[in-house]
């Protein structure tokens, strides 16, 4: 079955193909399919945004299946913020550096034991004639007071992953992909597809 991804991120596509390639050997991005739409992410959960993107791209593309994800950082001491606003935490048009700077200001003086956080990724699969499936993957960490590492993007330099003793920005792409929130969500989706085909 052909699958269109609601992304133009080549790295993300490679990660998805590594896990779901056997289920969807024909995978393409929106750009490759000539689809140029911008879905407004106005849901109050990662799941709501992922479902909206997948269903909109399915409808607009004419493909039999569309996959979308929405992800971000959840900080317990901030009652779940930045959450669905992770990409625009410092406001519209701001970049990773400004988002991180706001996060550090908001977490100023919070002791280590209260700096628990997690990355979450909701992955939604919309298919013609079937109910949309949505799964959530998470990975637990500690929010660092200072950035560490130069790999990754977004909040990675501040996200300390205890099992590896490193921040996400200190991990290789292979290490990060082996434990990432998106990988966990994709594997949960793969298990649902496996049960469907059993």
Place 173 in a pLDDT band, splitting at 50, 70 and 90.
confident
42 is annotated as an active-site residue: no
Active-site residue among 70, 79, 96, 106? 70
Pairing of strands 26-29, 65-75: unpaired
Q: By C-alpha distance, which of 128, 140, 196 is closest to 164?
A: 140
Residue 38 exposed, middle or buried by CB count within 10 Å (0-12, 13-18, 19+): exposed
In this prediction the pTM is 0.92
Given a contact cutoff of 8 angstroms between Cβ atoms, the answer to whether 126 and 66 are in contact is yes
DSSP letters, 98-131, are HHHHHHHHHTTT--GGG-EEEEEEEEEEEETTS-
Measured CA to CA, the distance from residue 107 to residue 185 in angstroms comes to 28
Number of other residues whose CB lies within 10 A of the CB of residue 52: 21
Q: Is residue 18 within 8 Å of 173, Cβ to Cβ?
A: no
pLDDT at 172 over 80: yes
pLDDT digits (tens, 9 = 90+) for 141-154: 999 999 999 988 89
DSSP characters over 45-80: SHHHHHHHHHHHHHHHH--SEEEEEEEEEEEGGGTT
CATH number at residue 33: 3.90.950.10
Total domain count for the chain?
A: 1
* Structure tokens that stand for 148 in this block: 């560490």
Burial state string for 5-17 with b = 16 or more CB within 10 A and e = fewer than 16: bbbeeeebbebbe
Return the biggest CA–CA distance within the chain.
52
The boundaries of the domain holding residue 156 are 2-197
At 178-198, the pLDDT tens digits run 999 999 999 999 999 999 888
The closest alpha carbon to 148, from 124, 173, 171, 169, belongs to 169
**Residue position matching structure tokens 């569309």:** 66
| pLDDT tens by residue, 107-143 | 999 999 999 999 999 999 999 999 999 999 999 999 9
* Per-residue model confidence as pLDDT tens digits over 69-111: 999 999 999 999 999 999 999 998 888 999 999 999 999 999 9
């Amino acid at each position: 079955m052909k699958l269109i991804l609601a992304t133009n991120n080549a790295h993300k596509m490679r990660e998805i193909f590594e896990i779901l390639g056997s289920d969807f050997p024909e995978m393409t991005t929106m750009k490759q399919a000539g689809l140029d739409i911008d879905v407004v992410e106005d849901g109050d959960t990662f799941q709501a945004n992922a479902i909206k993107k997948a269903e909109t791209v399915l409808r607009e593309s004419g493909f039999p299946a569309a996959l979308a994800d929405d992800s971000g950082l959840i900080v317990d001491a901030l009652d779940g913020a930045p959450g669905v606003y992770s990409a625009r935490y410092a406001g519209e048009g701001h970049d990773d550096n400004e988002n991180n700077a706001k996060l550090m200001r908001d977490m100023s003086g919070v002791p280590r034991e209260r700096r628990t956080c997690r990355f979450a990724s909701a992955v939604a699969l919309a298919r013609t004639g079937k109910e949309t499936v949505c799964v959530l993957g998470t990975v637990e960490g500690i929010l660092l007071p200072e950035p560490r590492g130069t790999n990754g993007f977004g909040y990675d330099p501040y996200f300390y992953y205890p099992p590896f003793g490193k921040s996400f920005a200190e991990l290789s792409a292979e290490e990060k992909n082996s434990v990432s929130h998106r990988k966990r969500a994709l594997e949960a989706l793969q298990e649902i597809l496996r049960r469907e085909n059993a």
